Amino acid sequence: MASRTACFGSARPLTTRVCRRSLVTRASAGSARPQRKRPEYIPNRIDDPNYVRVFDTTLRDGEQSPGATLTSKEKMEIAKQLQKLGVDVIEAGFPIASPDDFEAVRSIAMEVGNNVDADGYVPAICGLSRSREADLERAWDAVRHARHPRVHVFLATSPIHMEHKLRMTPDQVIRQAVESVKHLRSLGCKDIEFSPEDATRSHPTFLYEVLAEVIKAGATTLNIPDTTGWSLPHEFQVLRGLITDLRANVHGANDVIFSTHCQNDLGLSTANSLAGAMGGARQVECTINGIGERAGNASLEEIVMAIALRGERQLGGLWTGINPVHIAVTSKMVCDYSGMPVQPHKAIVGANAFAHESGIHQDGMLKSRDTYEIMTPESIGLARASGVGLVLGKHSGRHALSTRLAELGYGDLPAERVAELFRRFKDLADKKKDIADEDLLALVQDGVHQPEAVWALGDLQVVCGSMGLPTATVKLIGPDGLPRVAAGMGTGPVDAAYKAIDSLVRVPARLVDYSMNGVTEGIEALAVTRVIQA
């Protein structure tokens, strides 16, 4: 236990240093690429043993999210953005699914798949296919004009899928998998990914057998899909054993890349993907914002930032070619085009990911940002909306309020005035969830321009509707501090209230005009009221 504490104690500052050096520098350099040059794209080999390929499947698995259909134009825009982000492989769709999907994959392969970026890099473009000749040919047709065309063929290997869905015996599955890989080879495809669907619920010896056979047939990437999100991270790490066995026993297994594809049914997709990478996978499949079938897929931004922040020291030196400064824009684009909103507390890209509402946190942030932030918003391409991202609300303290007031130009208010504003701010925050800048300005200006109160409002009750006369009952606290109550009737609720007030203050007047303009937004908004009496 003692050594564990020591380990965590010494790791934190180092992590922060890594973050500051490798991310903030990169973020401030705008669109600069990661400092290391990523290895050349070779289908079955990566020349840097620590480099993890990022395979983005937003346009395929992501699009399988119910309600997330993308048009071809939107897919093209996203693909271009994914290239900017630095993904290694773009799975652009499932070409047999529809003529439109075929066309989307084909045009992405032609355009993005041949667009050499400033560093001489072009992403591989991949099409998904079932283990059927017509599918394979359609997928190959769609991607073949890319500089690095890839076909991803899948066939389920778990007993439940083989028996109930495919209605095939294990022998038939092996034969069909091998024939598919060979067929792709015969078409001229040299970059072949094979996925034993539902791998994590497959029998380990059968899984081994299928993988060994497809390696011999010519597959270049072997993906281990956790199709139902069933796996636990420590189980995913046993991938190391599978890889070691295959490499020791199967000719050609040293020249293939292993991959993860983790669904999020138990919320473990990021953890499983990282465990897989620790186990030897050098490709991670993921989607922007974690969208995907059912509970979604592993989230690209989570995996990438975990590797960026912790890869150097805690993940054995792993790194990716992603330039995190493009994450925020990509996330927003996918959110807008897919219509899949990002939950506010989503890691990395949620609206609250860099927001601080509690007084103690805000105090810490004001003193030093790394008290509560392990990365900067700038590192993922977000400009801070204001100051250090403080959200003022009922848990905020004086430090945060004074800082925001100073940022709004009220840095020289006397201490008593700040104390009074703090009290009114807390009252308002009890009624209103977030206090916006406009709320604060209204509070400050209200105090500055208010005449001194002689009568104070105690309570007010108004009854009005389509039946009868509007009536108001008002309780006022007089100059002597004593309460007085009166009722009035009027042409409307405001007129009735003023009639009641008039009867108490005994300054006869007639309501001439009344208007109310919202200063802030929402149902708890502050408003400016204008009353003209004669």
Ligand X SMILES: CC(C)C(=O)C(=O)O
Ligand Y SMILES: CC(=O)SCCNC(=O)CCNC(=O)[C@H](O)C(C)(C)COP(=O)(O)OP(=O)(O)OC[C@H]1O[C@@H](n2cnc3c(N)ncnc32)[C@H](O)[C@@H]1OP(=O)(O)O
Distance from chain centroid for Cα 523: 28
Secondary structure string (H, E, C) spanning 75-94: HHHHHHHHHHHCCCEEEEEC
Residue nearest ligand X by beta-carbon distance? 225
Q: d(Cα 269, Cα 280) in Å, to the nearest integer?
A: 17
CB 236 within 8 A of CB 195: no
Contact region for ligand Y (CB under 6 A) — 90-98, 238-246, 473-481, 500-508?
A: 90-98
* Residue 166 near which of ligand Y, ligand X, none (CB within 5-8 Å, type-dependent): ligand Y
Question: Which C-beta is closer to ligand X: that of 93 or that of 225?
Answer: 225
Q: In 3D, which of 343, 346, 338 has the Cα closest to residue 380? A: 346
Binding site for ligand X (CB under 6 A): 61, 154, 195, 197, 223, 225, 227, 261, 263
* Residue 263 near which of ligand X, ligand Y, none (CB within 5-8 Å, type-dependent): ligand X
Within 8 A by CB and 6+ apart from 166, the residues are 155, 156, 173
Q: d(Cα 46, Cα 251) in Å, to the nearest integer?
A: 18
Question: Which C-beta is closer to ligand Y: that of 62 or that of 488?
Answer: 62
CB 524 within 8 A of CB 431: yes
Question: Which C-beta is closer to ligand X: that of 63 or that of 197?
Answer: 197
* Residue 223 near which of ligand Y, ligand X, none (CB within 5-8 Å, type-dependent): ligand X
Question: Which C-beta is closer to ligand Y: that of 92 or that of 322?
Answer: 92
Q: d(Cα 20, Cα 14) in Å, to the nearest integer?
A: 10
Q: Please report how close the Cβ of residue 273 comes to ligand Y at its closest, in angstroms.
A: 16
Q: Please report how close the Cβ of residue 57 comes to ligand X at its closest, in angstroms.
A: 7
Q: Give the N- to C-terminal CA distance of the chain in Å, as an integer.
A: 79
Contact region for ligand Y (CB under 6 A) — 74-82, 89-97, 229-237, 379-387?
A: 89-97
For the purposes of burial, counting CB atoms within 10 Å of the CB of 57, is it exposed (0-12), middle (13-18) or buried (19 or more)?
buried
Q: In 3D, which of 59, 130, 67 has the Cα closest to residue 96? A: 130
For the purposes of burial, counting CB atoms within 10 Å of the CB of 10, is it exposed (0-12), middle (13-18) or buried (19 or more)?
exposed
Subset of 403-422 contacting ligand Y (CB under 6 A): none
* Residue 94 near which of ligand Y, ligand X, none (CB within 5-8 Å, type-dependent): ligand Y
Residue that the structure tokens 């703090």 belong to: 422
Instruction: State the CB neighbour count (10 A cutoff) for residue 398.
Output: 16
Helix axes 99-111, 72-85, angle to 10 degrees: 30
Give yes or no for residue 197 binding ligand Y (CB under 6 A): yes
Q: Please report how close the Cβ of residue 221 comes to ligand X at its closest, in angstroms.
A: 11
Give yes or no for residue 293 binding ligand Y (CB under 6 A): yes
* Residue 161 near which of ligand Y, ligand X, none (CB within 5-8 Å, type-dependent): none
Distance from chain centroid for Cα 186: 41
Give yes or no for residue 138 binding ligand Y (CB under 6 A): no
Among 102, 140, 154, 354, binds ligand Y (CB under 6 A): 154
Question: Which C-beta is closer to ligand X: that of 27 or that of 262?
Answer: 262
Give yes or no for residue 269 binding ligand Y (CB under 6 A): no
Give yes or no for residue 431 binding ligand Y (CB under 6 A): no
Q: In 3D, which of 57, 77, 60, 80 has the Cα closest to residue 69? A: 60
Per the structure block, which two tokens stand in for 150? 């890839």
How many residues of this chain bind ligand Y (CB under 6 A)? 14
Q: Please report how close the Cβ of residue 132 comes to ligand Y at its closest, in angstroms.
A: 5
Give yes or no for residue 96 binding ligand Y (CB under 6 A): yes
* Residue 97 near which of ligand Y, ligand X, none (CB within 5-8 Å, type-dependent): ligand Y
* Residue 362 near which of ligand X, ligand Y, none (CB within 5-8 Å, type-dependent): none
Give yes or no for residue 228 binding ligand Y (CB under 6 A): no
* Residue 37 near which of ligand Y, ligand X, none (CB within 5-8 Å, type-dependent): none
Question: Which C-beta is closer to ligand Y: that of 48 or that of 100?
Answer: 100
* Residue 132 near which of ligand Y, ligand X, none (CB within 5-8 Å, type-dependent): ligand Y
Question: Which C-beta is closer to ligand Y: that of 155 or that of 443?
Answer: 155
Judged by phi (left if over 0) then psi (alpha if -120 to 50, else beta), residue 225 lies in beta
Q: d(Cα 236, Cα 260) in Å, to the nearest integer?
A: 9
Give yes or no for residue 97 binding ligand Y (CB under 6 A): yes
Q: d(Cα 46, Cα 264) in Å, to the nearest integer?
A: 27
Secondary structure string (H, E, C) spanning 402-436: HHHHHHCCCCCCCHHHHHHHHHHHHHHHHHCCCEC
Q: Please report how close the Cβ of residue 197 comes to ligand Y at its closest, in angstroms.
A: 5
β-sheet with 456-463: strand ranges across: 456-463, 471-477, 483-489
Site map (CB under 6 A) of ligand Y, residues 112-131, x = contact: ------------------xx
Q: Please report how close the Cβ of residue 8 comes to ligand Y at its closest, in angstroms.
A: 38
Residue that the structure tokens 């073949």 belong to: 144
> What's 287's DSSP letter?
B
* Residue 433 near which of ligand X, ligand Y, none (CB within 5-8 Å, type-dependent): none
Give yes or no for residue 175 binding ligand Y (CB under 6 A): no
Question: Which C-beta is closer to ligand X: that of 107 or that of 223?
Answer: 223
Interacting residues toward ligand Y by CB under 6 A: 64, 94, 96-97, 130-132, 154-155, 165-166, 197, 227, 293
